[in-house]
Amino acid sequence: MEADNIRNNIIDKLLTISNKEYLSALYQLVQNSSIDNDIVKLSKEQILMLELSEDDIKNGRILTQEQLDKNDLKWLEGL
């Protein structure tokens, strides 16, 4: 598996974690690693996602964490 695929899979899984302590431990692990000098090359898709995110922020298409949590609960109730 290529590094980009592994990285993207990790990111996908991180987005599903809500446990603050677990995320803090992962953050410390990454923060203490020796990859600070590595340059990360973004894919075209990642650059596009960042550009779309910036456009959303500029145009006020954002939700608060509280709004996201309510939407998630509503979605979960519908399952």
Q: What are 6-49's pLDDT values in tens digits?
A: 989 999 999 999 999 999 999 988 888 766 566 778 999 999 99
**Domain definitions of the chain by residue range:** 1-39, 42-79
pLDDT in tens, 44-77: 999 999 999 999 999 999 999 999 999 999 999 9
With CA atoms as reference, report the closest residue to 11 among 39, 65, 49.
Answer: 49
Residues 50, 42 contacting (CB under 8 angstroms): yes
**What's the pTM?**
0.44
